Amino acid sequence: MNFNEPINCLTYNAQRIARSMGRQMEIALRPVGLTNQQFSTLTILRHFKIMSTLELADKLGVERTTMTRNIEQMRRKNWLEPAKAEDQRVRAFQLTDLGLRLQSEALPLWKEQQSKFLEYLGKDTASDLVALASKG
């Protein structure tokens, strides 16, 4: 493969793959009313318990302003609530009981779609993809 040809641009192809997988996950999560981004946010907060806006943005690979908007939408739906951070100057958040239940309800849908991705990609390619993402 000639990587000097613009059609083989790594950024272009990585974005195409990400958008395609994202659309498929959006469809999978639709029955519980979550977007892929919302599910990821709930899942990260379930794992880390309390995180700041900046930490969430970094983990999700989005701009801080985008994360701030997403958090506010999720707060209005009562999925997230403010939490006390070690540094009182930092705005931190945690899941509400409703957010925790919603993430739990969405988990089987995510697992089913994740299995489809694994079947399509193969475990080696999927492992390489996760390893590559953790380098960034």
Domain carrying residue 124: 6-135
Query: pLDDT by residue (tens digit) across 98-109?
Result: 999 999 999 999
What count of residues does the chain have? 136
62 within a domain of the structure (yes/no) = yes
Query: pLDDT by residue (tens digit) across 38-56?
Result: 999 999 999 999 999 999 9
Q: What is the pTM of this model?
A: 0.89
27 within a domain of the structure (yes/no) = yes
89 within a domain of the structure (yes/no) = yes
1 within a domain of the structure (yes/no) = no
pLDDT at 57 over 80: yes
pLDDT at 136 over 70: no
What integer best gives the mean pLDDT of the chain? Answer: 94
Task: Tell me how many domains the chain contains.
Answer: 1
Q: Which of 76, 77, 95, 93 is nearest to 85 (CA)?
A: 93
